[in-house]
Amino acid sequence: MPDAAATSLQVHPVLAAAERSLPDMLTDLERLIRCESPSADLAAIARSADLVAEIGASRLGTQPERLVVDGCTHLRWRVGSLDRAAPRVLVLAHHDTVWPIGSIDAHPFSIEDGVLRGPGCFDMLTGLVAAIHGIAALGPLFDAAVTLLVTGDEELGSPTSRKLIEQEAPGCVAVLVLEASGDGGALKIGRKGVSLYRVEITGRSAHAGLEPERGLNATVELAHQIVAVAGFGDATLGTTVTPTVAQGGTTTNTVAAHAAFSVDVRARSAAEQERVDGAFRTLESVTGASIAVLGGINRPPLETSAAEPVWRRAIAVAERIGVEPPEAIVVGGASDGNFTASLGVPTLDGLGAVGGGAHAAHEHVLVDAIAPRTALLVGLLRDLLALPDAEEPRPGTTRA
């Protein structure tokens, strides 16, 4: 009979395979980080897509479809069964980042003391690499399928990829989003919806010294409207309405004829998004200036009801393969998972890197967490697709 202590140290084959893949994952990740991909630079996004396609083809054994929409390059792999009745999981990732060209010089790729750094490493190039390697680890799929959709404009709100996402998600068993995790590796089971507005005000110009009474001051109206709009929030429901950028007037001695301000709205429910949207449509002028409201609901919320069942399966998988069971968190930021959850497709987010500093100079990834997170992805995919369990750990295979 095997020694109980030795048995307890055996590594599940899914985790062992991820650990063996880590050096290759780090190599792929360094290449992607060095190939800068700011969202608004379409040429850079195309170059990045070329590299993602090269890496993905080498690991998955097949070329992706290249989907160019309004000049922005997205990639799609459909792996496994072609039978439309076969269970399918959609895996979402993006290869664009917020970092402008040249950021790699100020924030070079590095791995020191178990911490990996470089522009876009946390949000979300590590998750993208994990997705590629994780799907490859499934091996041949005969009675199931996985779609990997890698978009190039997520950081801009997915204006050209949203339709692709919404076309791919229906009918899937679940959607897994490889965005970075929450603090401590928590999975994201809820995301607020996002609405974006611009309020434009038109008044009448006049000389501020000679005849200000002949003017109609758009900046004064702007002040009234900012106060009104800020009142649309509801802290008890987690609804935030935040005026952000404001402009008004032309010169210091002219009554402002035009003014405008932008507003960022975050809400946990679709009902709250609709309530706030309705409130914007009822804005009335205080001074007699004209008001135009542009924009509206951008991303619906990812409500916890769409994610909790998949999260609970992830906990069971984690316990089975011997990785830390993930906590759950609800966050204010949105992702492409918001779109799929609003379609009624079970969606779990935050399966990517463990680290921190998204969009900031201290962006980083914990290297020791990469293999366990990839193993969790593989195990969850196998569970969702009802694939046979991986073979038992080989005798003598123990944790390093």
* Interval 244-261: pLDDT, tens: 999 999 999 999 999 999
Q: Are strands 364-366 and 355-356 parallel, antiparallel or unpaired?
A: antiparallel
Which residue type is seen at 85? Answer: A
Taking the C-alpha atoms of residue 380 and residue 175, their distance in angstroms, rounded to an integer, is 11
Average per-residue pLDDT in the chain?
94
Q: Are strands 110-112 and 115-117 parallel, antiparallel or unpaired?
A: antiparallel
pLDDT of residue 359: 95
The whole model's pTM is what? 0.88
Q: Is 293:199 a contact under the CB 8 Å cutoff? A: yes
Mean pLDDT to the nearest integer, 79-87? 94
pLDDT of residue 170: 98
177 forms bridges with which residues in the sheet? Answer: 92
Q: Is 306 exposed, middle or buried (0-12, 13-18, 19+ CB in 10 A)?
A: buried
* pLDDT of 7 over the 50 cut: no
The residue among 153 and 400 whose pLDDT is bigger is 153
Query: Domain coordinates of the chain in residue numbers?
Result: 4-191+301-384, 193-299
CATH of domain 193-299: 3.30.70.360
pLDDT of residue 275: 98
14: which 2 tokens?
């899914």
Cis peptide before 124 (omega within 30 of 0): yes
pLDDT tens for 140-154 read: 999 999 999 999 999
Which SS3 state, helix, strand or coil, does residue 366 take?
strand
Which residue type is seen at 284? Answer: E
Q: Is 34:104 a contact under the CB 8 Å cutoff? A: yes
* pLDDT of 396 over the 80 cut: no
388: which 2 tokens?
């046979």
Q: Is 137:378 a contact under the CB 8 Å cutoff? A: yes
Give the percent of the chain with pLDDT over 70: 95
pLDDT of residue 398: 37
Rounded to a whole number of angstroms, the CA Rg of the chain reads: 24
- Confidence band (pLDDT; 50, 70, 90) for 390? low
pLDDT of residue 3: 45
Q: Is 73:152 a contact under the CB 8 Å cutoff? A: yes
pLDDT tens for 211-236 read: 999 999 999 999 999 999 999 999 99
pLDDT of residue 389: 74
pLDDT tens for 91-117 read: 999 999 999 999 999 999 999 999 999
Taking the C-alpha atoms of residue 143 and residue 146, their distance in angstroms, rounded to an integer, is 11
Would you say the C-alpha torsion 122, 128, 131, 137 has a positive or negative sign?
A: negative
* pLDDT of 370 over the 50 cut: yes
* pLDDT of 394 over the 70 cut: no
Taking the C-alpha atoms of residue 180 and residue 354, their distance in angstroms, rounded to an integer, is 6
- Confidence band (pLDDT; 50, 70, 90) for 399? very low
Residues 6+ apart with CB under 8 A from 335: 92, 154, 177, 179, 188, 191, 302, 349
pLDDT tens for 271-326 read: 999 999 999 999 999 999 999 999 999 999 999 999 999 999 999 999 999 999 99
Taking the C-alpha atoms of residue 304 and residue 313, their distance in angstroms, rounded to an integer, is 14
Q: Where are the beta strands (DSSP E) in 128-271?
A: 145-151, 174-177, 187-191, 193-202, 240-248, 258-267
* pLDDT of 391 over the 90 cut: no
Taking the C-alpha atoms of residue 151 and residue 88, their distance in angstroms, rounded to an integer, is 19
pLDDT tens for 14-71 read: 999 999 999 999 999 999 999 999 999 999 999 999 999 999 999 999 999 999 999 9
Residues belonging to the active site? 96, 154
| CATH fold for domain 4-191+301-384 | Aminopeptidase (3.40.630)
Mean pLDDT to the nearest integer, 192-210? 97
- Matching residue, tokens 């106060």: 227
